[in-house]
Amino acid sequence: MKFTAITAALGLFLTGVTALDKPLDIQVLSASNCAEKDQTKPGDKIDMHYRGTLEETGFEFDASYNRNQPLNFVLGKGQVIKGWDEGLKGMCIGDKRKLTIQPEYGYGDRGVGPIPGGAVLIFETELVDINGQAGKKAKNDEL
């Protein structure tokens, strides 16, 4: 009996389907060293550049870089998918992260536009601004 359970668990592991899949995986691609008070937190208005792809096919469904316009929103207020609200906390301006988001933290079973229901999403993200700090910093750097 134990052998059957172990074999079944091993089979699931090898196929990549596990009960331990996290709804959100955060990979830090580039991180700066800013004070905690300067890191993103719920309620901050942030500007993010991103590239979104489907894990299954690699299809790029959207990218702010293509529009040369970052997306701005208030973090933690449900204006974006839960994977973003959770995965972008604690970033400094200029930081880059890769977020792998399971459907329950993305668009679930319903899908949206070119994103099919049940899709695992991969976002490469870059924090451009927090509450207008980048503009103030640039202005001070000019002085």
The confidence score (pLDDT) of residue 136 equals 61
The confidence score (pLDDT) of residue 133 equals 86
pLDDT band at 134 (very low <50, low <70, confident <90, very high): confident
For the entire predicted model, the pTM comes to: 0.81
**Catalytic choice (73, 123, 129, 130):** 123
DSSP state of 33: -
Can you tell me the mean pLDDT for 17-28? 77
CATH 3.40.50.880 fits 20-142, yes or no: no
How far is Cα 141 from Cα 143, in angstroms, rounded to an integer?
6
**Catalytic choice (107, 115, 129, 130):** 107
Q: What mean pLDDT value characterizes the chain?
A: 86
How far is Cα 34 from Cα 58, in angstroms, rounded to an integer?
33
List pLDDT tens digits, range 99-109: 999 999 999 99
123 catalytic residue (yes or no): yes
Q: In the chain, what are the domain boundaries?
A: 20-142
81 catalytic residue (yes or no): yes
8 has a pLDDT exceeding 80: no
The confidence score (pLDDT) of residue 21 equals 73
Buried b (16+ CB within 10 A) or exposed e, 7-36: eeeeeeeeeeeeeeeeebebeeeeeeeeee
Tokens encoding 4: 């059957």
Identity of the highest mean pLDDT range in 3-17, 80-94, 121-135: 80-94
pLDDT band at 125 (very low <50, low <70, confident <90, very high): very high
107 catalytic residue (yes or no): yes
